[in-house]
Structure 1
């Protein structure tokens, strides 16, 4: 069977094809993770699911604590019932004393680095940080550790960890009861940037407390680490276990308390009117004010003069932690949206300084988050979700979160503040799913909660507003980080306390990676099914990265080891370069076509500048003026079609098979693309073709296209129409760090040049709401919520 001939009809080269090394990394990139992951066992299976011997220990807490508003101090006592559900005998127990981070000599403080810049100056807190912490003697003060019978237990405090030595070993299946009494001074969030503490409002002389990491908490013991007793250095968050809580919080009598769990004694702490509003909120379509702004302002004015106290009792089942907020400044609103067929409380607590923004948005955002996340994971299992406004910019605990975003004093706000509120509430409420329920080890793997949650946050933000700038999952948004020097990066798979550039590494890069998997590598259906299966498998359990990687592949049937290797275990960027495109068409061998093309090409090549200028004297040449100087060749036309040409063509056609005749008559265009992998990280190859008739089409090739050569590839693409422009990654899907080499022919893009004007006035820009009000002469926005 004769082969169809190809002829190069056009060739445009704008870059030399680079020579490639004979040694490729393709096999390494596409081989399985293998020994990099832990060996499957009876605790954790090769499929990524919990094994038949999977276990987790449990701790139940009965806590009584009092908040002293005059001294900003908490004192408390707790009784812990600890259940050893492991196969191991435990001779001691480890507890976390997180407040000890704020002791001046803690490893977390002593290991912080940084210098002073004389050009920029220094904040007072930067110069006096150690003295500030030492002045009030921060940290947990343990005053008693006793067994169930009241006998003292021996204990040892090692900075943020405390070991209790058991008088009798705790065998598998047994439990032990012991009590701890403690107290500590609450830190000022504004000066320490802590995850919990207080804010003082000098205008009205009141405090707002957001209290977390406040009681001695059991450390985790599992099949992966044994005791997870790594010191708390401030960056790696918390590794905790599930249990049941009953917490009695004694606070000033005019304080409103929000906490993990359900309020057990509303009749003792709420007025009759507030109880009635709470009941009405169950059926309201919009958030109902439980504590109004007028009531909160009245409490503010009374201040801390009264010595009256109230005890708020909260109860929570199967949670890994407990946090609360308390202030006389709180406005409180609530509603009960339906989440996967069940009514759940969505609530917000905030001071008047947060209005009108919080009254309009916060509780609605809580409800939206529960509905969005539940669709993608599992139905929200808890009875309530709370958003509290205070000094903590964003922090999460079971059923309660602390969030920032405060309007200007006149009640206006820039769009960035509104967007921050939307993002932070969705993010922190979303943490109820990761890691409060899918209980990953935050001390070791920050990305397993922050990255997964940032990904879901981005989807929920876009479900809230399709125009929301969900940059946390946009591939283009991670490009500046991916461009940074590799020495300034660490892999996502780095221990939490060792991460440089914490935000991009633990939040944006893993979130963007998941978005790339969903949109480009796996497709939405396969990804969504596998992600939901991971959440379902590991709800109320403690997964590791291997469990996530394995489940995503097990439930989707997609081999993703190349992706985990590149995106999670490495720091190489994506940089695909379309270095060359060659254009071919089948040579029909039809003399009518072939000779016409040859004639046109000859005429094109003959049309030189000299020929054009000599045209005026053409008739003055010897051959033109003397006919005896002409012969056969002066009238011969080499491009004329002869009978012999036609016979040869017909003979050729008679040798072709029917499918070859069809292909020959299709007049298709064939292009060979040469793509260089300059960044190192392999990704699918996506190429957009713009045709000469103004239409376009996109071709997609999986990442496995690089599996035999991870440095350079060639790919043949056939089209019915002529392509005039080629573009790699046209929809910015793969976080390519250099888009200037993605086009062929190359496109020149101008850089923006701005005229420099000396001595420009530096004016702080107004937010658009303020500008509009001043232009219209309207009075400043009120600080009320706009609701009754």
Structure 2
């Protein structure tokens, strides 16, 4: 190991504690423009299967190597915790800093390499025909074959000569670098519009084992449609959230890893097909925005990338398959309601990643925070207000390190809404929602509807009042109506025949039996909202 700093070059003292190394400097590194150079030799053994982050897939035409978390990483120094000296434990990804990477990957000549960043020396590692095809792909909306099914592994796919080749990659403003290599790769590519006039090159690398059958939206579609899936994801997220994809490439690699994201590159299962392959591809490339650009502390707050990403994934899936938002509403409602009733997760969302029991991780890091943001957008704030705030969060915290409070404050700041009640109930605690009709009475042309919030998390109340003349009206009670008392009585005109809470079916209410009233049948009437 060697340090170059302030015109001096020396071998520093260092201490290794488990997977953490502390390097002692002879002289403190100054703030602002202070810099030094640290060089060291290290070795890394590629595991056969590395905790679904990396590994080896034995394809018939040659092993697919997926490499991640393979080099020493710097801890982040931030203005909240100072040095974030937290070892990697597998649950909760690395908290990483941004930088520029120049990486040379030397591999046997027969191998093709896919990696974070832009390939800097295509003339040395690709044939003339491959370079021509790649140039065509940069301007094509349809995938262009770079190495075809019958070409993978053949000698003609490699430049003339003998001995290993060095692939040179360059990446800026990224927090990590990952790569894959194999002689079995089929390779296709296309362009994706990002909305800022700088299209991205979207690519897929996969062995023949990844090929499926049928159309892209069919159940058996395979990796031959991966580039179309990546293209959709990059274009959708760029446009949907007014956040142009900032990087020049987006690459999907098939192998042993079920699904994992890195800057400009994702590893997904070679065995995935149809909606499963689309889903994992879309999820991993959604991560290019969260946390690859908005660099949250994944080590502590998994929900800030997994939950937010799962939330935006819902709209991407709806757009690709032309589905109704009702499917998302019903899915989230059922999942959170079931989790609340069964107390499947006894910890709040804000529990640190490594302190969440493994069987609760999917609920607390992915589904519940995503469902909360969906409710916030669709039920509490409305799309226009939420979208403006969400876009502001992205803009304000791109290439920075937000904490949960920064997300909460940004949403409140831009919407002009005090949402403490929501953050407290949904994120800081595991409170439940239980709205109820506790009394309905009619007198002449007036109906009095008493509503109660019977659990810890109050929410705005939507009422549908159906009158005996066949007409109907909707009344919305703001959550502030329940701040001082758990009940509120709404007075509505007309003689009600039926009253229903949450008629659109958004809330994961733990007891829906008391959500409907029918004249003559009482509160717990059959046919209540289910």
TM-score, structure 2 normalization:
0.90
Cα RMSD for the two superposed structures: 2.3
CA contact (8 A) 1:437 1:539 kept: yes
Q: Which residue of 1 aligns with 2:206?
A: 350
Q: Which residue of 1 aligns with 2:215?
A: none
Counterpart Cα distance in 1 of 2:108 and 2:27? 42
Deviations 1:531-558 (A, max 9, x none): 1011001111111111111111111111
CA shift for structure 1 position 325? 1.1
Q: Larger RCO: Structure 1 or Structure 2 (Cα < 8 Å, ≥ 6 residues apart)?
A: 1
Question: What secondary structure, in the 3-state scheme, does the structure 1 residue paired with 2:26 have?
Answer: strand
Deviations 1:147-180 (A, max 9, x none): 2376432221222221111122212231111102
Counterpart Cα distance in 1 of 2:398 and 2:514? 45
Counterpart Cα distance in 2 of 1:165 and 1:358? 51
Q: Which residue of 1 aligns with 2:480?
A: 704
Q: Which residue of 2 aligns with 1:287?
A: 143
Q: Which residue of 1 aligns with 2:340?
A: 482
Q: Which residue of 2 aligns with 1:727?
A: 500
Q: Which residue of 2 aligns with 1:737?
A: 510
Q: Which residue of 1 aligns with 2:268?
A: 403
Deviates more, 1:145-154 or 1:221-230: 145-154
Q: Which residue of 2 aligns with 1:58?
A: none
Q: Give the unaligned 5+ runs of structure 1.
A: 1-144, 408-416, 586-668, 751-788
CA contact (8 A) 2:259 2:280 kept: yes
CA shift for structure 1 position 311? 1.0
Q: Which residue of 1 aligns with 2:355?
A: 498
Is the counterpart of residue 715 in structure 1 residue 460 in structure 2? no
1:267/1:332 CA distance change after superposition, 3 Å: same
CA contact (8 A) 2:223 2:270 kept: no
Structure 1: 4+ residue segments shifted above 6 A = 299-302
Deviates more, 1:677-686 or 1:233-242: 677-686
Is the counterpart of residue 561 in structure 1 residue 420 in structure 2? yes
Is the counterpart of residue 198 in structure 1 residue 56 in structure 2? yes
Deviations 1:455-478 (A, max 9, x none): 111111111123275479733332
Q: Which residue of 2 aligns with 1:684?
A: 460
1:443/1:300 CA distance change after superposition, 3 Å: farther
CA contact (8 A) 1:299 1:328 kept: no
Q: Which residue of 2 aligns with 1:371?
A: 235
TM-score, structure 1 normalization:
0.61
Q: Return the match for 1:454 from 310, 325, 330.
A: 310
Q: Which residue of 2 aligns with 1:435?
A: 291
Q: Return the match for 1:296 from 152, 158, 161.
A: 152
Question: What secondary structure, in the 3-state scheme, does the structure 1 residue paired with 2:418 have?
Answer: coil
1:221/1:301 CA distance change after superposition, 3 Å: closer
Question: What secondary structure, in the 3-state scheme, does the structure 1 residue paired with 2:36 have?
Answer: strand
Q: Between Structure 1 and Structure 2, how many residues are aligned? A: 503
Q: Which residue of 2 aligns with 1:538?
A: 397
CA contact (8 A) 2:330 2:505 kept: no
Q: Which residue of 2 aligns with 1:548?
A: 407
Is the counterpart of residue 387 in structure 1 residue 260 in structure 2? no
1:240-639 matched pairs, under 5 angstroms = 240-296=96-152, 298=154, 308-340=163-195, 341-356=197-212, 357-375=221-239, 376-404=241-269, 406=271, 417-467=273-323, 470=328, 474-485=332-343, 488-500=345-357, 501-585=360-444
CA shift for structure 1 position 738? 2.5
Counterpart Cα distance in 2 of 1:243 and 1:568? 32
Question: What secondary structure, in the 3-state scheme, does the structure 1 residue paired with 2:24 have?
Answer: strand
CA contact (8 A) 1:300 1:329 kept: no
CA shift for structure 1 position 265? 0.8
CA shift for structure 1 position 445? 0.8
Deviates more, 1:471-480 or 1:504-513: 471-480
Deviations 1:675-713 (A, max 9, x none): 232332111111122333444332222211211113x33
Is the counterpart of residue 180 in structure 1 residue 40 in structure 2? yes
CA contact (8 A) 1:206 1:300 kept: no
Counterpart Cα distance in 1 of 2:103 and 2:290? 24
1:227-242 matched pairs, under 5 angstroms = 227-242=83-98
Deviations 1:3-24 (A, max 9, x none): xxxxxxxxxxxxxxxxxxxxxx
Counterpart Cα distance in 2 of 1:477 and 1:317? 39
Deviates more, 1:218-227 or 1:491-500: 491-500
CA contact (8 A) 2:206 2:270 kept: no
Is the counterpart of residue 672 in structure 1 residue 445 in structure 2? no
CA contact (8 A) 1:344 1:383 kept: yes
Deviations 1:637-679 (A, max 9, x none): xxxxxxxxxxxxxxxxxxxxxxxxxxxxxxxx32222223233
CA contact (8 A) 1:405 1:420 kept: no
Counterpart Cα distance in 2 of 1:247 and 1:256? 15
Deviates more, 1:377-386 or 1:317-326: 377-386
Question: What secondary structure, in the 3-state scheme, does the structure 2 residue paired with 1:373 have?
Answer: helix
CA contact (8 A) 1:458 1:472 kept: no
